[in-house]
Amino acid sequence: MDTMFVSLAVILAGGVAALLFARQFTLMKLATIATTSAGCILGLVYSLTNLLSNTGTIGQSWNWLHIFTLAFKVDSIALFFLVPIFTIPPLALFYSFHYMGDKAKATRTAVNYFFFAILVASMALVVTAANIVTFALAWEIMSLSSFFLVVFDYQVKENRQAGYLYFIFAQGGAMLLFAAFALLYHYTGSFAFSSFSTIPEGAKLLVFILAFLGFGSKAGIFPLHIWLPKAHPAAPSHISAIMSGVMIKMGIYGIFRIYLLLEAATPLIGQIVLVTGMVTGVLGVVYALAKQDIKQLLAYSSVENIGIILIGLGIGMVGVSEQNQAMAFFGFAGAFLHVFNHSIFKSLLFMGAGAVLHKAKSKNIDQLGGLMKRMPITGRTFLAGSVAISGLPPFSGFIGEFLIYYGAFYGINNHRIPFILAILAIVSLAVIGGLAAACFTKVVGLAFLGEPRTENAAKSTEAGSSMTMIMIFLAIACLVIGVVPEPFIRLAFAGIKDIPYTAGYDIQAFMEIVRQISQTGAIFIGLLLLISLLRKILYMKKVIGSGGTWGCGFTQPTVRMQYTGTSYAAEIIDFYRPFVPVKSIYTGISKIFPGKTTWETDVEDVAEINFQQHLIQPLLKLINKLRWIQHGKIQLYIAYIVLAIIILLLLL
Amino acid sequence: MESIFSFCFAILIAPLLPAVIQKVKANFGGRQGPPLLINYYTMAKLFKKGSVYSTSTTFVFRMGPVVGCATSLMMLLFFPLAGVAPVFSFHGDVLILFYLMGLGRFFTILAALDTASPFEGMGAAREAFFSTLAEATIFGILVLFYRLTGSLSFAEFFTGTQPIAITGAHGAQLILVIIALYIVMLTENSRVPIDDPTTHLELTMIHEVMILDHSGPDLALIELGAWFKLLFYSGFLAMLLDPFQLQNVWLNGLLFYAVVTFIYITIGTVESITARYKMNMVPKFILTPFILVFFATILTMELIK
């Protein structure tokens, strides 16, 4: 445990170093990147060694302000979540060396690094917290520090708005969490996590639902996801990578932790999580497909992956309540592995999007194109990340999904409701997979392939070396996890070893299957090489011509004739229409000799519309009526305070 | 040894069978049709040629055919053609195989988008859309088969302890599955009434339009991949339809390929007597098999206890 606190201290020292050296731009970056990364690597070594050895749970606590106890505890679940928390930040920091290249913003960059360090440390504290006070404290620090990271470019109005929206969702979610905690405290009279399971069975469902919504707003479950597609495009790309790859998983951690602590007997919890996962997954990917802004698209794709992770957790929970150990084991393990995998490929993709934004000056797919030739490394690594996130073998995304499928198939032998749920889970995973492939062929095919649609895209060049190196590393990681999954699957299994119900499941038979999967991957790659060789031989000493693309007889093609992201996705979006409203504005033709006419189309988020109509507008109406309280006279404000204190004294 | 022989035989015969479809269609039209060996001649011709690449394309365009062909071959490597144990097999192989098929599609779509041609973009968009619908059906079938056999591998589906057979206890449900799988086969292999594979013209709106720019050996690899894929799907159907499981491997193989040929003949017949659907009809058509399979699965709830 001490090792971890030392590593957190080093990480924070890195953050402070950024503030101290703020005037020396390059030195500041080097110092903070080196120090913070060193801290992260120390923490990573700590969590990996403890995770893979059988140390059991370790706890530690201090008194704070003489009233509260700050208690920490690490078990295998906390250790597993520490792995991405300590793995991704050093990579993101290294990437930021060239990404944060604007010397004019030196002070701001230093502040950004400072909050970055705080965010990393607070996430580590969130997963190790062992009582309500510690958890709430860490959770709030995490939310606040990430808010400051999002509003890096605060001069842009949209970014400020995105920041506020994120802030509201973070605090709204925290409010629900505090409600859940208050309810728990009401029954137990104790702050300790370990007392949660003693509350009456009837209250457990309510506590869980409150906490699920609270954590869900952080994780981005549908319909509480609407801050993600706004905040991610606003934040710098390496921050998006951290937030999407690691921070939203804290929501998943919270959901899972509260589930374990409550030990509720009701099967409803698992069913709620599973169904939410399916809805989140399918709608997340459909919206991702509908968006043309790459970072917004990636944000929605995070929503989709949160859905996949929740499907895994849901399968596990249903397995627990059905007394089906194999189903529970593989559901949980699949969800854990997907948490890890997603942190890798989502970071890679956000970094790729950042490189594109830097060099091609746009993140709109319909203004890009042809980047594969101009940014070969970014393009190739982005392609690898896209294959991985679509869950296609032999890359990493497939492995986590395979475990979830495997668990879900065990559920098929169960009774009615779990049986139907298992079928729906399998089918929705298949649909999500297909749609994700459609979504990422769109990004790669239209942004990186084809011809550039704008001047800027045509002039773009490869990103800086610190950026490309990290992307290459992450892309290789995606392939390695896909081809040699065994150690990573063992890591996920080690992560769930402290879950009481699944402990002791025999994995020997399954490890054999894992070896077969990796063999299949190897066979496939071998076959690929063989056919490539055959192709090489067939093309030896042949005339290879080159010319324009066959335009079916049309000889004056322009780049504007290419398929756009909007048209590529149109048919699929149309299919899901009731859930994905499309707004188009067409000015129409009125005169005999028509003038210039415009047509505009945009996909609106159904959750956002409903929030606005049914929550925000009624709330605004109500609050407007209370506006007279706010008059700006200080003496009356003091009177309010005195009045409030008197009332409280009388009542309590 | 037997497995490898069976695999090699399948590779060799895969180009022959589609000629049957062409023959049947020619017969319906009152023509004689091409010789049965036409596809081998086509292969030889394409292999001899060079290629012309569009200046818009990158390495992805060249990878498309290779990945497509390799994924189709993987299917044949893991499938127990004629009941002969496949070259490789393990519990769970169906999941990785259908996902590999997705990988093949992923790269075919990318190769099409790489050309910057609006036609190919159109084909790519449709391929992406229709395949997401077909995928749901395929996984529905896997759920049903898992329910029936408790296994997740092609080999165990058909040669395991509780093999799936039309003459078995669940023959009635299999009829629904067979119809569903037939429609999936037509979809995934871009046959009429979803797509028309015969004309290399711009009007064939899905698969063929995506490969407009490929030529020479690249085109040959794409064609080979398509034939392997068609053989896999019709082999899958044939294993469901073929009621005989004889001891004699040769006789078994003969029967199996007879059924496969019969399926190719039906494809030819369907192509001769129906027209391609309008595009907005296609999703409805592809969703039909999903309903059938879902229904068949629900039926097992009471039948298996």
User: Which residues of chain A are within 8 Å of residue B113 when distances are taken between CB atoms?
Assistant: 441, 444-446, 449-450, 563
Interface confidence, given as ipTM, is 0.94
Residue pLDDT, tens place only, B123-181: 899 999 998 889 999 999 999 999 888 889 998 888 877 788 887 778 888 899 999 99
Mutate to test the interface with A, among B66, B130, B162, B210 (most CBs of A within 10 A): B66
The mean pLDDT value for A399-425 works out to: 88
pLDDT of residue B211: 86
Closest in B52, B58, B121 to A546, CB measured: B52
Point out which residues pair with A68 in neighbouring strands: A64
Separation CA A140–CA A137 (nearest Å): 5
Q: Domain span at residue B45?
A: 2-303
CB contact under 8 A, A547 and B90: no
Query: How many domains does chain B divide into?
Result: 1
CB of A535 less than 8 A from some CB of B = yes
Which three-class secondary structure state does DSSP give residue A361? coil
Contacts of A612 (CB under 8 A, 6+ apart): none
Separation CA B230–CA B101 (nearest Å): 12
Check whether B90 has a pLDDT greater than 60: yes
CB contact under 8 A, B118 and A419: no
Backbone angles phi, psi at B118, to 5 degrees: -60, -35
CB of A405 less than 8 A from some CB of B = yes
Q: How crowded is residue A515: how many other Cβ atoms within 10 Å of its Cβ?
A: 14
Structural element, H or E, at residue A399: helix A396-410
Separation CA A344–CA A330 (nearest Å): 21
- Residue B302's pLDDT band, with cuts at 50, 70 and 90, is low
pLDDT of residue B147: 87
Taking alpha carbons only, the member of B91, B79, B232 closest to residue B152 is B91
What residue ranges in A291-335 does DSSP mark as E strands? Answer: none
Closest in A390, A527, A557 to B70, CB measured: A527
Separation CA A368–CA A352 (nearest Å): 13
Q: How crowded is residue B5: how many other Cβ atoms within 10 Å of its Cβ?
A: 12
Which three-class secondary structure state does DSSP give residue A62? strand
Separation CA A514–CA A485 (nearest Å): 7
Cα three-residue angle A257-A260-A263, rounded to 5 degrees: 145
Closest in B52, B113, B146 to A441, CB measured: B113
DSSP A605: P
The pair of structure tokens assigned to A321 is 């309540």
Q: What is the largest CA-CA distance in chain A?
A: 97
The mean pLDDT value for A300-317 works out to: 95
Check whether B305 has a pLDDT greater than 60: no
Which three-class secondary structure state does DSSP give residue A602? strand
CB A357 within 8 A of CB A363: yes
**Residue type at A502?**
T
CB A344 within 8 A of CB A477: yes
pLDDT of residue B201: 59
Residue pLDDT, tens place only, A248-280: 999 999 999 999 999 888 889 999 999 999 999
Separation CA A504–CA A481 (nearest Å): 25
CB contact under 8 A, A426 and B50: no
Separation CA A323–CA B301 (nearest Å): 19
Strand B51-54 versus strand A544-547 pairing type: parallel
Burial of A188 (0-12, 13-18, 19+ CB in 10 A): middle
A227-231, A301-305, B118-122 — which is least confidently predicted? B118-122
The pair of structure tokens assigned to A81 is 């979540």
Mutate to test the interface with A, among B7, B47, B60 (most CBs of A within 10 A): B60
The pair of structure tokens assigned to A550 is 């066959």
The pair of structure tokens assigned to A280 is 């989140």
pLDDT of residue B186: 92
- Residue B241's pLDDT band, with cuts at 50, 70 and 90, is confident
Residue pLDDT, tens place only, A44-55: 999 999 888 877
pLDDT of residue B102: 94
CB B56 within 8 A of CB B213: no
Backbone angles phi, psi at A546, to 5 degrees: -145, 150
Residue pLDDT, tens place only, A371-398: 999 999 999 999 999 999 999 989 999 9
Point out which residues pair with A73 in neighbouring strands: A59
Contacts of A328 (CB under 8 A, 6+ apart): A315, A316, A317, A319, A320, A407, A501, A502
CB A392 within 8 A of CB B99: yes
Mutate to test the interface with A, among B47, B99, B210 (most CBs of A within 10 A): B99
Backbone angles phi, psi at A81, to 5 degrees: -70, -25
Q: Which residue is closest to B141 within chain A, CA to CA?
A: A427
Separation CA B129–CA A628 (nearest Å): 55
Residue pLDDT, tens place only, A336-358: 999 999 999 999 999 999 999 99
pLDDT of residue A414: 67
Check whether A467 has a pLDDT greater than 60: yes
CB B105 within 8 A of CB A437: yes
Separation CA B284–CA A477 (nearest Å): 41
Average pLDDT over all residues of chain A = 90
C-alpha torsion sign, points B112, B117, B120, B124:
positive
**Residue type at A620?**
L
Strand A58-64 versus strand A68-74 pairing type: antiparallel
**Residue type at B15?**
P
Backbone angles phi, psi at A587, to 5 degrees: -75, -20
Our separate counts of H helices and E strands in chain B read: 12, 1
Residue pLDDT, tens place only, B256-279: 999 999 999 999 999 999 888 888
Check whether A550 has a pLDDT greater than 90: no
Contacts of A324 (CB under 8 A, 6+ apart): A318, A410, A411, A413, A414, A418
The pair of structure tokens assigned to A592 is 């005999």
Residues 35-54 of chain B with CB under 8 A from chain A are 47, 49-54
pLDDT of residue A90: 94
Separation CA A217–CA A208 (nearest Å): 14
What residue ranges in A499-611 does DSSP mark as E strands? Answer: 544-547, 582-586, 599-603
The mean pLDDT value for B20-46 works out to: 92
CB B290 within 8 A of CB B133: yes
Separation CA A428–CA A333 (nearest Å): 19
Check whether B251 has a pLDDT greater than 80: yes
pLDDT of residue B204: 63
Residues 120-149 of chain B with CB under 8 A from chain A are 120-122, 124-126, 128-129, 131-133, 135-136, 138-140, 142-143, 146-147
CB contact under 8 A, A449 and B113: yes
The pair of structure tokens assigned to B17 is 């069978």
pLDDT of residue B164: 82
CB contact under 8 A, B102 and A392: yes
pLDDT of residue B159: 82
Q: How crowded is residue A646: how many other Cβ atoms within 10 Å of its Cβ?
A: 10
Contacts of A270 (CB under 8 A, 6+ apart): A314, A316, A317, A318, A319, A320, A321
User: Residue A3 CA to chain centroid, in angstroms?
Assistant: 28
CB B67 within 8 A of CB A528: yes
**Residue type at A171?**
Q
